[in-house]
């Protein structure tokens, strides 16, 4: 192989690598986590909890989820923030903590910008009656049972049903599903898993 051929191969590889890098960056930007704003609504505040009451891990044995729990607020558009990575989940900090009366909400990504599996990639495989566990900072394990699973168009999500029901201690899990909508940088569907508290143990 002569020098010119070797140089041509090297240049081709460099160009290919540059194109691949640009594609990766573009996808990463499209799927980038949402930016949180500081207390966006007048009168809204984070409920004061002891360190032991904060959720720290989410476990769903039936779909092999064992994830760290971040805290999430709202974006400037009023939507719940997403986790800052694709392996953790996030708990909505302006609502009840898991185990408290009301609807605790936890969300997670279905995949990342490269199409690799996110923490909730298999959330669509969960079934009514499955167990969900939330571990708190005090090493208390909160046991929830799935009671309902629903899919909604992304512009028709029933936020009051997800965030505001306070008849019992609830846990609602949310992720994306469906087809990617590039102009909105999101999928066109939302999968919501509704669960209720069964017991708490150490």
Q: What is the CATH number of the domain that holds 54?
A: 2.40.260.10
Q: Are 99 and 105 in contact (CB under 8 A)?
A: no
Does the residue 95 lie in any domain?
A: yes
Domain count, the chain: 1
> Which range among 32-36, 65-69, 73-77, 80-84 shows the weakest confidence by mean pLDDT?
32-36
Give the confidence band of 197 by pLDDT, cuts at 50, 70, 90. very high
- Whether 79 is in a domain gets the answer yes
| Rounded distance between C-alpha atoms, residue 92 and residue 196, angstroms | 17
Q: What are phi and psi of 193, to 5 degrees?
A: -110, 120
Encode pLDDT of 153-185 as tens digits. Answer: 999 999 999 999 999 999 999 999 999 898 888
| 69 in a structural domain | yes
**Percent of all residues in the chain with a pLDDT value above 90, rounded to a whole number:** 63
Tell which wins on pLDDT, 44 or 177. 177
Domain that holds residue 47: 31-201
Burial per residue of 125-151, b for 16 or more beta-carbon CB atoms within 10 angstroms, e otherwise: ebeeebebbbbbeeebebbbebeebee
């Amino acid at each position: 192989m002569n020098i010119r051929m070797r140089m041509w191969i090297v240049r081709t590889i460099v160009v290919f690598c540059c194109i691949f890098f640009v594609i990766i960056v573009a996808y990463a930007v499209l799927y980038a986590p949402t930016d949180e704003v500081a207390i966006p609504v007048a009168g809204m505040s984070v409920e004061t909890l002891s360190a032991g009451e904060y959720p720290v891990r989410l476990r769903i044995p039936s779909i092999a989820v064992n994830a760290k729990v971040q805290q999430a607020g709202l974006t400037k558009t009023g939507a719940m923030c997403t986790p800052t990575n694709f392996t953790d989940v996030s708990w909505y900090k302006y609502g009840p903590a898991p185990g408290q009366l009301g609807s605790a909400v936890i969300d997670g990504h279905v995949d990342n910008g490269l199409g690799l599996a996110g923490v909730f990639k298999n959330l669509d495989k969960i079934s009514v009656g499955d167990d969900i566990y939330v571990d708190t900072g005090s090493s208390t394990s909160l046991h929830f049972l799935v009671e309902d699973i629903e899919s909604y168009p992304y512009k028709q999500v029933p936020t009051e049903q997800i965030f505001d029901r306070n008849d019992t201690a609830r846990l609602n899990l949310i992720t994306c599903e469906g087809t990617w909508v590039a102009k909105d940088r999101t999928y066109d569907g939302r999968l919501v898993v509704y669960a209720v508290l069964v017991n708490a143990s150490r």
